[in-house]
Homo-oligomer: A and B are copies of this chain.
Amino acid sequence: MDSNQARYLDIAGHLRELVAGAEPGDLLPSDAELCKEFNVSRMTARQAVQLLVTEHLVERRRGKGTFVAPRKVPRALGSPLSFTESMRQRGLRASSRPIESRVATANDAEARALGIKVGEPVYVIERVRLANGVPMAIERAVLPTAVAASIDTNLGTGSLHLAFEAAGLMPSKAHANVSARLSTEWEQEQLDIGPVTVVLAEEHTIFDQEDRPLEHTVTLYVADRYSFSAVLLPHESPASE
């Protein structure tokens, strides 16, 4: 139930939908219009818009209005690391369709990534990731059993990163690798795509503060529907104008 959310979050959600269905540069409702539509004071409407400004989804121009931001300004902040966050930055709603979620034995690549032996037990979460309901990627996350045990939430559905946060596990370092290939028949079925389709394969391993592996994940993106972007080097500087 989201109805006990703060009102400004409802407004922000509404704005995100508008952004998702609009083009960069499009004009969005003014503060005054939001006040009227949601029957709130201006500071509350402003708080919602301001939230989207910090997410780089919209831009405000004094005297002119609020506009959909250019799509290309994601931050280096864990962009390739969390599907949910990555979609949110693009103004899309992330969801999941579980494929399987169980204890299995580590294969070669997984064992090497997690620093364990082949055949040792690991917790595997495999699911199709959707953006606004459209299949976008197949994600296979592999967790050491100890880590899986410490996050007791429903692992199949939500955001893994939120679960880490809730369990007090702080992702620190990460290795990432991006490659590309043709999709297999099984992948085509899961993603609802044609036979000769290219997929982007992102593989990453996340470690906590003490360099213990938290998660090894392989994500296969439909190349037609997805690309990686990042801003490299300087971390975002204080919003100077």
Give A227 to B178 CA distance when docked, in angstroms: 6
- List chain B residues, Cβ under 8 A from A55: 236, 238-239
Given A73-B77, A178-B227, does the pair A173, B233 have CB atoms closer than 8 Å? yes
Partner of A235, one of B51, B223, B235: B235
Most central of A75, A174, A199, A231 by chain B CB within 10 Å:
A75
How many of chain A's residues touch chain B, expressed as a range?
Answer: 35 or more
A179 to chain B, nearest CB (A): 4
Q: Contacts A178-B200, A198-B198, A232-B174 given: A77-B78 contact, CB under 8 Å?
A: no
Determine the chain B residues whose CB is within 8 A of the CB of A39 once the complex forms.
Answer: none
Judge whether A235 and B238 touch: CB under 8 Å: yes
Query: Would B177 and A180 count as touching, CB distance under 8 A?
Result: no
Is A234 positioned at the interface, with any CB of B under 8 Å from its CB? Answer: yes
Q: Does A182 contact B (CB under 8 A)?
A: yes
When C-beta atoms are compared, the residue in chain B nearest to A179 turns out to be B227
Contact code string A80-91 (vs B, CB < 8 Å = 1, else 0): 010000000000
A54-B239, A74-B78 as given contacts; A233 in contact with B174, CB under 8 Å? yes
